[in-house]
């Protein structure tokens, strides 16, 4: 009988160690570095899937690092939120496969081994963040994935990459400080860093310092998640980064901010009087983000910038769901976090393949590419429609549940927000589809382009299929996250 | 309780055209294989759908479920009388339209795209017809929007792009309304089933009921070209003629009308709507549209534009009949789906044939065409007589039952409206026929129409078959095992009547 919980630290340590070793082992052999990174990510994915199966089979479990029991030692635990490690590992794996040919052009040769190292470290940070059971490690792992993300943005050759990375770094560092400060406040109040113990203590504590900690944590994680109006670092960073990094950032790193918010809600679950105004605020900020992000995406000319703004919109949907605090809205938001991750990484990778082949990133310049790069263009067209939330694709499940939740909570106007934002998303999707399929090529680079190598179109195609399959699997996914939604919020209507 | 049988045929009927689309995309530029797959799929689908007719007439309901798409909302098919009727009409017309399109589109560009999406459109239409619940219907309804887009865009010029954009803006807006209505509906009833005679009841509260009614009717009304949501339809005339036929007769507008019928009969139910009184307003709107659109049609100079406005007018017959909420009017609403489809598709096929044969597109250029293309113009005459409402033609059957239904409902005014509309129809069809048959062919030097290009028999054939159907639906309506009895069954179900209607 294998003790499953031993695998938990591997989830984080394997990519961290593997990443740290990459520049040492493969400094001058980029191809081997890629192979190494893909292998590490594959093993991590297998471990994550095994842990997920175990979770489905017999519920959550935890692991005391070094045998020191919680309250004093470090606790790792696997729950439904931690299960996000599975899509995280798989998406990083696909992004790494995609990177094989992409980085040769997009990243300086001398930096390639560092690039792979940073991606792996990012994955390790994400996985650790997802499974950690105490507040201080939450902060540590957050710093790991954040710092590696700043550096990854800066690896791009784009002229604005370092500026975008700097902007991202400043905002990110400020939010990290807020989180650290709040963790300190919680520790001072409760004398523990373990999430569960602290939550129990906070339920009984006085509102004032607790409110400060809540505000600090919520704001800090909201910046990481790019909730409107603290989203402005995101579009530049996600657009300037190398495409596979954009995929990881948009799909996973901002979602880690969402997970942080979920952990915060868990922490303050007992202090309802503090939570209510925050949730209310989050709903309306989310609505503004959803509409604003979609509209901003509509007016972009750069395809990656358009996708980046659409991430802001989708983060808005998720926050609407979290703030509504009804069973269907919260589970819808959690499912949408996964579904959006899959769809958005497909889109960023497809856009990356197009940029790789043509060197063009303006939507109007990509005209006529549908016939030159059939698989990539199909993937992009299909996932753009999925992004708008057309049933039965993956974007639909979450939005439907959030809309139902909005009606239950007595906010019919939010249904209008969701529907309008969906139509706007479809509008810019159609704009891209038009350019790809119904316009003659305007650029020589397009007319002479050919389909991207299999290491690029295969991940795009797999994610495209996944964006349909996850839509069809809406019910099991909702049932899976349902109990977690209930336990995070206490009880939900 | 109607016996429900699990049967794979509804699924196959949808998949056949999907497979056809895949095959057409796969063979790319090999024209013979493309034609083979298109026709084979059309034939198989035709056979599949018709094979369900005897069972449906015997009162059986075929179901096929995949499982849940969302908690409490299944994704599945359920073939009831109304759905099968719509599927019969569209699968029959698909065979004819495919043959016609193979003739009409010869030599055009991107034909694999054209026929691929053409097949997808029919796949989704049958999906709409067989949808077990509103969400399944919506899935296929939105897919239909997306699949018709490349067809309208086919010419890829500025006019096509504008029309296609307009079409998308309208239909996506409509889709958004339906989605919002559906969310409301699900949150108040917890179900989206279309198997009942009404899933709402008065306890829901008036303002919710009104909101759901407005959202669903306006949402479906976009595709049904319900004024003032109709502007996309005349604009979409830039598309190739088989596409116009598909939009007007087979798929798109019928999907909208079908959605309205589902909303009235299966979502709200007759009794609730009668109590609420919303349907009276809808009927009034339909009556106004009937006349206004006919007047607009009279003013059009292009043949296809006139046809488009006539479609808007004819669709409001269906909406009016459904909104009257009497059994005979319901019968009229359902059979008019077929009657309008066959009559209108004949006219479109003829317009396309004239365009290919003589290059003429305008109403005042028709002089003498009847002598050049006698069979084609004879079919045109039959179909337009049907719209005018001459007995023995399909259109008459509709008007007869619609009048009876209106009198039952105590709304005799609509009989008068129908008479006016019939006169207007006569005013815009008859001069065209007169021109075609009784005016001499103008003799223009250098443009001798006597040496015109021959119109392919693949275009003439479907025209004659459709015209024959117009008579068959009119004169042979009450023959046994005709779709008419299916329409009657559907109307009986909606009104929960056990006895035959007459």
Spatial distance between the Cα atoms of A112 and B6, rounded to a whole number of angstroms: 58
Q: What's chain A's average pLDDT?
A: 89
Cβ neighbours of A395 in B, within 8 Å: none
Does the distance separating the beta carbons of A478 and B70 come in below 8 Å? yes
Place of tokens 């500026």: A163
Residue of B nearest to A419 (CA): B176
Contact B163, B152 (CB under 8 A): yes
Query: Facing residues of B76 across strands?
Result: B65
Across the range A156-169, mean pLDDT stands at: 87
Terminus-to-terminus CA distance in chain A, angstroms? 40
The shortest CB-CB distance from A391 to any of B69, B184, B186 is to: B69
Spatial distance between the Cα atoms of B219 and A35, rounded to a whole number of angstroms: 52
User: Residue B464: which domain range?
Assistant: 321-443+452-502
Q: What is the pLDDT of residue A176?
A: 93
Q: What is the pLDDT of residue A465?
A: 94
Position B437 in a domain? yes
- Residue to substitute from A317, A364, A401, A419, interface B, most B β-carbons within 10 A: A419
SS3 A227: coil
Is B359 an interface residue toward A (CB < 8 Å)?
no
Q: What is the pLDDT of residue A89?
A: 94
Give one DSSP letter per residue of B91-141, joined into a string: HHHHHHHHHHHHHHTTT-S-HHHHHHHHHHHHHHHHHHHHBSBHHHHHHHH
- Residue to substitute from B144, B163, B187, B210, interface A, most A β-carbons within 10 A: B187
Is A438 an interface residue toward B (CB < 8 Å)?
yes
Closest-CA distance, B447 to chain A, in angstroms, reads 34
Does the distance separating the beta carbons of A437 and B179 come in below 8 Å? no
CB contacts < 8 Å between A and B, how many? 70
Cβ neighbours of A385 in B, within 8 Å: 146
Does the distance separating the beta carbons of A397 and B70 come in below 8 Å? yes
Position B334 in a domain? yes
Helices in B263-324 by DSSP H: which ranges?
Answer: 270-276, 278-299, 303-323
Cβ neighbours of A416 in B, within 8 Å: 180
Alpha-carbon Rg for chain A in angstroms: 21
Q: What is the interface pTM, i.e. ipTM, of the complex?
A: 0.83
Q: What is the pLDDT of residue B401?
A: 85
Across the range A471-482, mean pLDDT stands at: 88
Question: How many domains does chain A divide into?
Answer: 1
Contact A117, A92 (CB under 8 A): no
Position B410 in a domain? yes
Render pLDDT for B339-380 as a digit per residue (tens, 0 to 9): 888 888 888 888 888 888 777 788 777 777 777 788 888 888
Position B274 in a domain? no
Residue of A nearest to B174 (CA): A423
Closest-CA distance, B183 to chain A, in angstroms, reads 6
Among A295, A328, A294, smallest CA distance to A311 is for: A294
Spatial distance between the Cα atoms of A192 and A214, rounded to a whole number of angstroms: 16
Across the range A157-176, mean pLDDT stands at: 89
Contact B76, B83 (CB under 8 A): no
- Residue to substitute from B172, B186, B189, interface A, most A β-carbons within 10 A: B172
Position B193 in a domain? no
The shortest CB-CB distance from B68 to any of A419, A430, A475 is to: A475
Position B171 in a domain? no
Contact B314, B447 (CB under 8 A): no
User: Residue A297: which domain range?
Assistant: 289-493
Q: What is the pLDDT of residue A245?
A: 93
Interface of A with B in 23-42 (CB under 8 A): none
Is A298 an interface residue toward B (CB < 8 Å)?
no
Does the distance separating the beta carbons of B176 and A420 come in below 8 Å? yes
Position A323 in a domain? yes
Position A393 in a domain? yes
Query: Facing residues of B77 across strands?
Result: B64, B131
Q: What is the pLDDT of residue A291?
A: 93
Spatial distance between the Cα atoms of B128 and B194, rounded to a whole number of angstroms: 12
How many residues does this entry show for chain B?
Answer: 502
Closest-CA distance, B71 to chain A, in angstroms, reads 5
Among B57, B45, B59, smallest CA distance to B91 is for: B45
Please tell me the pTM assigned to this model: 0.89
DSSP state of B444: -
pLDDT of A108 above 60? yes
- Residue to substitute from A294, A326, A328, A392, interface B, most B β-carbons within 10 A: A392
Which residues, given as ranges, of chain B have pLDDT below 50? none
Distances from the Cα of B281 to the Cα of A169, A244, B178, B197, B208, angstroms: 60, 56, 20, 21, 17
Contact A397, A335 (CB under 8 A): yes
Q: What is the pLDDT of residue B480?
A: 63
Give one DSSP letter per residue of B164-195, joined into a string: HHHHHHHHHHHHHHHHHHHHHHHHHHS--BSS
Closest-CA distance, A471 to chain B, in angstroms, reads 8
The shortest CB-CB distance from B153 to any of A392, A419, A438 is to: A438
Contact B194, B133 (CB under 8 A): yes
Among B354, B344, B192, B183, smallest CA distance to B257 is for: B344
Residue of B nearest to A468 (CA): B69
Q: Name the burial class of residue B204, with classes exposed (0-12), middle (13-18) and buried (19+) by CB atoms within 10 angstroms of its CB.
A: middle
Spatial distance between the Cα atoms of A88 and A302, rounded to a whole number of angstroms: 26
Across the range A146-159, mean pLDDT stands at: 89
Render pLDDT for A41-57 as a digit per residue (tens, 0 to 9): 999 999 999 999 988 88
Cβ neighbours of A439 in B, within 8 Å: 156
Spatial distance between the Cα atoms of A58 and A52, rounded to a whole number of angstroms: 10
Position A208 in a domain? no
Across the range A434-440, mean pLDDT stands at: 87
Q: What is the pLDDT of residue A1?
A: 41
Does the distance separating the beta carbons of B179 and A419 come in below 8 Å? yes
Closest-CA distance, B211 to chain A, in angstroms, reads 11
Question: How many domains does chain B divide into?
Answer: 1
Position A47 in a domain? no
Across the range A421-435, mean pLDDT stands at: 89
Is B138 an interface residue toward A (CB < 8 Å)?
yes
Position A72 in a domain? no
Half-sphere exposure of A199 (CA within 13 A, CB side): 21
């Amino acid at each position: 009988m294998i003790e499953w919980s031993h695998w938990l630290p591997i989830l984080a340590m394997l990519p961290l160690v593997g990443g740290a070793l990459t520049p040492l082992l493969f400094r001058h052999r980029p191809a081997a570095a890629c192979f190494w990174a893909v292998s590490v990510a594959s093993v991590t994915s297998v471990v994550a899937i095994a842990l997920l199966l175990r979770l489905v089979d017999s519920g959550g479990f935890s692991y005391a690092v070094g045998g020191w029991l919680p309250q004093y030692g470090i606790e790792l635990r696997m729950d439904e939120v931690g299960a996000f490690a599975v899509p995280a590992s798989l998406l990083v794996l696909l992004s790494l496969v995609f990177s094989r040919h992409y980085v040769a052009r997009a990243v300086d040769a001398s930096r390639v081994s560092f690039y792979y190292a940073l991606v792996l470290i990012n994955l390790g940070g994400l996985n650790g963040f997802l499974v950690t059971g105490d507040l201080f490690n939450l902060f540590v792992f957050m710093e790991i994935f954040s710092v590696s993300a700043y550096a990854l943005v800066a690896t791009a050759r784009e002229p604005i990459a370092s500026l975008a990375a700097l902007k991202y770094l400043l905002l990110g560092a400020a939010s990290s400080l807020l989180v650290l400060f709040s963790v300190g406040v919680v520790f001072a109040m409760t004398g523990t860093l373990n999430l569960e113990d602290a939550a129990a203590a906070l339920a009984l504590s006085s509102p004032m310092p607790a409110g400060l900690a809540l505000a600090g944590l919520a704001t800090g994680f909201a910046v990481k998640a790019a909730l409107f109006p603290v989203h402005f670092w995101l579009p530049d960073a996600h657009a300037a980064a190398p495409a596979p990094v954009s995929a990881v950032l948009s799909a996973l790193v901002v979602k880690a901010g969402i997970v942080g918010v979920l952990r915060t809600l868990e922490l303050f679950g007992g202090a309802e009087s503090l939570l209510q105004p925050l949730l209310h605020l989050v709903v309306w900020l989310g609505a503004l983000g959803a509409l604003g992000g979609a509209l901003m995406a509509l007016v972009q000319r750069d395809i990656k910038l358009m996708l980046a703004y659409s991430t802001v919109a989708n983060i808005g949907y998720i926050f609407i769901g979290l703030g509504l605090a009804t069973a269907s809205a919260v589970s819808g938001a959690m499912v949408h976090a996964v579904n959006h991750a899959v769809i958005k990484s497909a889109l960023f990778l497809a856009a990356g393949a197009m940029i790789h082949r043509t060197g063009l990133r303006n939507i109007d310049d990509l005209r006529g590419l549908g016939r030159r790069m059939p698989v990539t263009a199909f993937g992009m067209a299909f996932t753009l429609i999925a992004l708008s939330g057309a049933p039965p694709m993956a974007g639909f499940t979450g939005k439907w549940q959030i809309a139902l939740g909005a009606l239950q909570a007595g906010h019919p106007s939010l249904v209008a927000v969701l529907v309008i934002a969906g139509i706007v998303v479809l509008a810019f999707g159609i704009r891209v589809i038009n350019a790809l399929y119904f316009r003659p090529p305007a650029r020589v680079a397009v007319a002479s382009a050919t389909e991207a190598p299999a290491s690029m179109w295969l991940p795009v195609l797999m994610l495209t299929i996944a964006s349909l399959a996850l839509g069809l699997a809406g019910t099991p996914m909702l049932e899976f996250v349902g109990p977690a939604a209930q336990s995070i919020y206490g009880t939900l209507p | 309780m109607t016996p429900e049988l699990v049967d794979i045929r509804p699924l196959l009927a949808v998949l056949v055209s999907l497979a056809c689309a895949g095959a057409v995309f796969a063979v790319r530029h090999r024209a013979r294989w493309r034609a083979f797959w298109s026709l084979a799929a059309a034939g198989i689908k035709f056979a599949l759908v018709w094979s369900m007719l005897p069972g449906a007439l015997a009162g059986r309901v075929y179901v096929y479920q995949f499982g849940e798409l969302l908690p409490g909302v299944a994704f599945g098919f359920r073939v009831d009388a109304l759905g099968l009727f719509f599927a019969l009409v569209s699968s029959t017309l698909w065979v004819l339209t495919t043959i016609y399109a193979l003739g009409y589109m010869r030599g055009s560009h991107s034909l694999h795209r054209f026929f691929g999406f053409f097949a997808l459109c029919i796949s989704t239409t049958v999906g709409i017809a067989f949808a077990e619940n509103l969400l399944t219907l919506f899935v296929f309804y939105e897919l239909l929007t997306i699949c018709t887009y490349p067809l309208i865009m086919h010419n890829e010029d500025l006019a096509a792009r504008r029309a296609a954009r307009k079409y998308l803006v309208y239909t996506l807006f409509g889709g958004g309304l339906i989605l919002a209505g559906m969310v409301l509906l699900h949150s108040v009833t917890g179900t989206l089933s279309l198997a009942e005679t009404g899933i709402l009841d008065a306890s829901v509260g008036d303002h919710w009921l009104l909101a759901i009614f407005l959202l669903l009717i306006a949402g479906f009304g976009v595709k049904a070209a319900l004024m003032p949501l109709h502007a996309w339809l005349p604009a979409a005339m830039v598309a190739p003629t088989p596409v116009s036929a598909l939009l007007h007769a087979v798929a798109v507008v019928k999907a909208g009308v079908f959605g309205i019928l589902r909303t009235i009969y299966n979502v709200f139910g007759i009794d609730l709507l009668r109590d609420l009184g919303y349907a009276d307003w809808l009927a009034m709107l339909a009556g106004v549209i009937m006349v206004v659109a006919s007047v607009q049609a009279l003013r059009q100079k292009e043949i296809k534009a006139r046809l488009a406005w006539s479609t808007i007018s004819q669709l409001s017959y269906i909406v009016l009949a459904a909104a009257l909420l009497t059994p005979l009017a319901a019968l009229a609403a359902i059979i008019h789906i077929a009657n309008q489809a066959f009559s209108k598709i004949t006219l479109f096929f003829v317009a396309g044939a004239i365009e290919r044969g003589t290059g003429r597109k305008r109403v005042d250029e028709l002089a003498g065409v009847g002598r050049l293309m006698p069979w084609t113009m004879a079919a045109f005459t039959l179909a337009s007589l049907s719209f005018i409402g001459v007995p023995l033609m399909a259109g008459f059957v509709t008007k007869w039952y619609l009048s009876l239904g209106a009198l039952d409902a105590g709304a005799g005014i609509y009989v008068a409206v129908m008479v006016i509309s019939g006169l207007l129809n006569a005013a815009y069809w008859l001069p065209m026929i007169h021109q075609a048959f009784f005016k001499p062919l103008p003799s223009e030097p250098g443009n001798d129409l006597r040496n015109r290009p021959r119109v392919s028999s693949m275009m003439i054939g479907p025209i004659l078959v459709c015209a024959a159907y117009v008579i068959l639906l009119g004169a042979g309506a009450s023959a046994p095992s005709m779709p008419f009895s299916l329409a009657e069954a559907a109307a009986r179900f909606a009104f929960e009547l056990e006895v035959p209607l007459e």
